[in-house]
Structure 1
């Protein structure tokens, strides 16, 4: 917004170029007008200041979108006609939907191709070939606001409910879920899902981080152990279907002392994910970690017919393993009685 190639400093004419003071998060124009930068991760920064104009960039990606937006509205009270502009990829979060249906909102849409004169031809050709006609392409390239995937186990509304600003309680347990793959770290294989989750003393599950990566076996082994140490984990739960003893060996090589449980994916991804989706429907899971958007996007692409996204749902698989270990207990059942699920 400020220092980028299309930022205010680059596009302002010399006679009206503002002075930027990064330490003060402030821009000052020759005529005395000022602008202050705020971080949407900290909505309370917006308590107290007041403005006559606001520019909200990538609103749909704000971690605490509704809370930060609300605080901004209270301070947008100077001048005869305070206004604000939002520039964002149209992800279907409740706040963006509400703004689009508000009679006071004026909507302007811009496609990537509308900016073709300023973009490399090779870039345009590559993204059109790769993403043209896909859901991701319609959202990112065509500025379409897409609804939830039909039949998805997780909806955007469920994710938004789970994503709250929270003070973490003490944790009873913390688990690192790992979904290995056959990638060497240099190929185009799937990533290695690494998701950290905990169970609080309040009985709720908390998703604490997503450390998914695409590294060599030695690399992802070290990353898994690092996540275990950073979040003070109690156990690593890893799927053994892809590599069997090799997966445990990779983790043990990084640290021979970490406790590891190997789990067998005897059922399909959807069947494994359904009890976890039910926890979200019951409001028993909170997303507190940073950088969870890629995981949440994968979650919303899991349907009863399978994964409709691209590649493998490595992040979701790791999440399912972690939350199953924390929140779902499978017990042996009499012949013919099927699977008994007991909520912990």
Structure 2
């Protein structure tokens, strides 16, 4: 390498990367459900539905690399292709779709990630590019609205995109390059109306994979997951890749959530941040439920004509995290939403919450709730408020909604659902001025 100019070094690096790409490309052995259909209609989809570890991202990354290295969609463009990748957040697009072990770089090491004034792009030496977008915030929607024309759109984890409807609408407007612009999609299925509608379209080709058939995952890992979730909705959805619609016995129905959904919250008179802790102090294997909800100022008739204040579920910040991170998120939400109180359920290992929250932020108004009744008994009145059109989810909260429409009383109730029940009980069903009475 000594004595080579920068230009010569760059040419050598490109040649070595090209050889490495060719070697990796020839070794790839797809699962049957990762094999793309022979043809996809203009503005149509190839949608991969699959359980965990079935290579959905891997299949879409491979498809995009093949697309780039195929015939140009527009010979006038440098590299012949302008594409888009839309994920739940732009960070997810970077981590999963480009840099991750199943992303574009794993299939073609010549891909580089560049951030400019115009956005973040995955680029090939030919000049072909894919612009990266999120679908989480109103700002993300505005970026999609001005996202430019594309020949291919990859939608990653479609069912987890909070503003999925807007993402589809605005990206479709830009699918105008070449003779056959279309979508590819990868997702674990969730019972969202948009996903159900996609699977019922004649121009959407669906392939499905199951975790139990993903032979590249260690057998012991597959067996353990299947044993742990056998016979549950989690097994059907998260492992077998089944699209669940309405579950018999579930307190919430998808159609009710859609009927009561609103695009934005009206003026609110009270806002709470509700926490449902993981079962064990410090156990990061379970999720911490953190839900923000508010009570509307106006008195509005419900489905029965009764005039009342309505509740609005504003945000879902739940996830697997340490106790300290959970309290930090709750405190940040308290200030960001100008909330009145943070409430937490403490009789399921949650005694640490108050201590940890005060260590992080002493300015947060904090109160506790104690469960003295069964989960179903607590949840049923909140589900009834939705059925009466007096509670609303603002935009969409995919993970929370999946828990709502798949949970059946008698099963362990999940974290997000529990946190939402605490929040709406405190806002609508507890005696005035006594949040601890929501037990």
TM-score, with structure 2 as normaliser: 0.61
Alpha-carbon shift at residue 132 of structure 1 (Å): 4.4
Change (3 A) 1:163 1:43: farther
1:37 pairs with 126, 132, 141, which one?
A: 132
Aligned to 1:298: 403
Aligned to 1:208: 314
Aligned to 2:391: 285
Deviation string for 1:69-124 (max 9, x for gaps)?
Answer: 1112222122222221111112121111112111122222222344423x334433
CA distance in 1, matches of 2:263, 2:235: 30
Retained in 2: the 8 A contact 1:307–1:313? Answer: no
Alpha-carbon shift at residue 60 of structure 1 (Å): 1.0
Alpha-carbon shift at residue 67 of structure 1 (Å): 1.6
Alpha-carbon shift at residue 182 of structure 1 (Å): 6.1
Change (3 A) 1:239 1:88: closer
Retained in 2: the 8 A contact 1:55–1:86? Answer: yes
- Unaligned runs of at least 5 residues, structure 2: 1-96, 299-308, 433-439
Retained in 2: the 8 A contact 1:44–1:68? Answer: no
CA distance in 2, matches of 1:143, 1:180: 28
Aligned to 1:92: 191
Is 1:21 aligned to 2:114, yes or no? yes
Where do residues 1-344 of structure 1 align in structure 2 (5 Å cutoff)?
Answer: 1-12=97-108, 17-23=110-116, 24-41=119-136, 42-48=140-146, 49-117=148-216, 119-161=217-259, 164-166=262-264, 168-179=265-276, 183-186=280-283, 193-202=289-298, 203-211=309-317, 227-239=333-345, 250=355, 263=369, 265-288=371-394, 292-303=397-408, 306-308=409-411, 311-328=412-429
Retained in 2: the 8 A contact 1:56–1:86? Answer: yes
Retained in 1: the 8 A contact 2:162–2:395? Answer: no
CA distance in 1, matches of 2:125, 2:240: 38
- Unaligned runs of at least 5 residues, structure 1: 332-344
Aligned to 1:337: none
Count of paired positions: 319
Q: Secondary structure in 1 aligned to 2:209?
A: coil
Change (3 A) 1:88 1:164: farther
Task: Identify the range of structure 1 (146-155 vs 292-301) with the bigger mean alpha-carbon deviation.
Answer: 292-301
Retained in 2: the 8 A contact 1:207–1:289? Answer: no
Change (3 A) 1:144 1:238: closer
CA distance in 2, matches of 1:40, 1:249: 34
Change (3 A) 1:150 1:140: same
CA distance in 2, matches of 1:135, 1:29: 41
Say what the alpha-carbon RMSD is for the aligned residues. Answer: 3.7
Alpha-carbon shift at residue 154 of structure 1 (Å): 1.0
CA distance in 2, matches of 1:51, 1:187: 40
Change (3 A) 1:78 1:283: farther
Q: Secondary structure in 1 aligned to 2:420?
A: helix
CA distance in 2, matches of 1:97, 1:216: 35
Change (3 A) 1:225 1:170: same
Retained in 2: the 8 A contact 1:53–1:83? Answer: yes
CA distance in 1, matches of 2:325, 2:124: 48
Deviation string for 1:233-283 (max 9, x for gaps)?
Answer: 323445566689x68975896577765555554543323322321222243
Deviation string for 1:271-316 (max 9, x for gaps)?
Answer: 33223212222433333499x544333322443xx243xx443433
Task: Identify the range of structure 1 (136-145 vs 230-239) with the bigger mean alpha-carbon deviation.
Answer: 230-239
CA distance in 1, matches of 2:293, 2:224: 37
Retained in 1: the 8 A contact 2:407–2:413? Answer: no
CA distance in 1, matches of 2:325, 2:145: 43
Change (3 A) 1:220 1:250: farther
